[in-house]
């Protein structure tokens, strides 16, 4: 971790105020390619290096959970050649990174409607997940064929089934119980959600879980997003006052009482 902690930018990062869960909407690959008169595939290929750098930086900073929005449910509507290319890039990434993931104690997980993925990709995800399952330093979530609304609907269906079968008492349903039916069960909700390319929308990403996430939008396109950009986002996150519905005065009073 000396590489990151030795930089001036990281010295400004408070290790006590890091997000427990960082979520990223990786946007702008197509525009990056268009600006350079390159095919869209070139933008996706360039974006893989940003994935590597963000994963490494989060591991070095000891951020426990990183979720990357890699492929949405709506992305299936893209041209077939582009979908095939994206699936190919995903497969190559998993094969090339598994050794580094294992070495750094990173457990890979995938969330979304995974049964829609090509069988070879499903098999590779299962194999990579199994081989990295002992990782305890960080969880890397890949959101694939993902929709936040579909996730909530699926959770509701499963919860109704358990109620009907007598496994859950309706009067005992609360937010912690409901969260156990989501793809992200067992993980903290995102503290910081980053979106690249300057768009101000969630795009159906972690819709339920992001209720109190701090949102950071940068005009930087995903293939250009690097360590310095991630550190800038975390730095702004640490300068924000997270109120969770309270007033600023109440937050200060809580801090005073906790410091006594």
Residue 256 burial (C-beta neighbours within 10 Å; 0-12, 13-18, 19+) = exposed
Q: Assess contact for 60 and 1: CB atoms under 8 A.
A: yes
Residue 60 burial (C-beta neighbours within 10 Å; 0-12, 13-18, 19+) = middle
Residue 64, number of CB atoms within 10 A of its CB: 16
Catalytic residue numbers, as ranges: 27, 75
């Amino acid at each position: 971790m000396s590489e990151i902690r030795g930089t001036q930018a990281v010295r400004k990062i408070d290790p006590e105020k890091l997000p427990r869960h960082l979520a990223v909407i990786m946007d702008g690959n197509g525009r990056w390619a268009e600006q350079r008169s390159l095919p869209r595939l070139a933008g996706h290929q360039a974006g893989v290096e940003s994935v590597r750098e963000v994963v490494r930086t989060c591991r070095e900073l000891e951020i426990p959970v990183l979720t990357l929005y890699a492929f949405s449910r709506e992305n299936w509507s893209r041209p077939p050649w582009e979908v095939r290319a994206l699936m190919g890039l995903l497969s190559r990434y998993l094969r090339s990174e598994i050794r580094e993931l294992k070495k750094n104690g990173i457990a890979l997980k995938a969330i979304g409607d995974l049964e829609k993925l090509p069988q070879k990709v499903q098999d590779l995800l299962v194999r990579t997940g199994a081989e990295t399952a002992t990782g305890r330093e960080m969880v890397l979530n890949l959101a694939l064929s993902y929709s936040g609304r579909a996730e909530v609907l699926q959770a509701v269906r499963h919860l109704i089934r358990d109620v009907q079968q007598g496994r859950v008492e309706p009067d005992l349903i609360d937010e912690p119980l409901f969260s156990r039916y989501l793809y992200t069960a067992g993980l903290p909700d995102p503290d910081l959600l980053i979106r690249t390319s300057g768009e101000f929308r969630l795009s159906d990403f972690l819709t339920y879980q992001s209720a109190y996430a701090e949102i950071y939008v940068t005009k930087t396109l995903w293939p250009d997003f690097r360590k310095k950009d991630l550190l800038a986002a975390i730095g702004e996150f640490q300068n924000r006052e997270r109120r969770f519905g309270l007033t600023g005065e109440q937050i200060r009073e809580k801090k005073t009482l906790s410091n006594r």
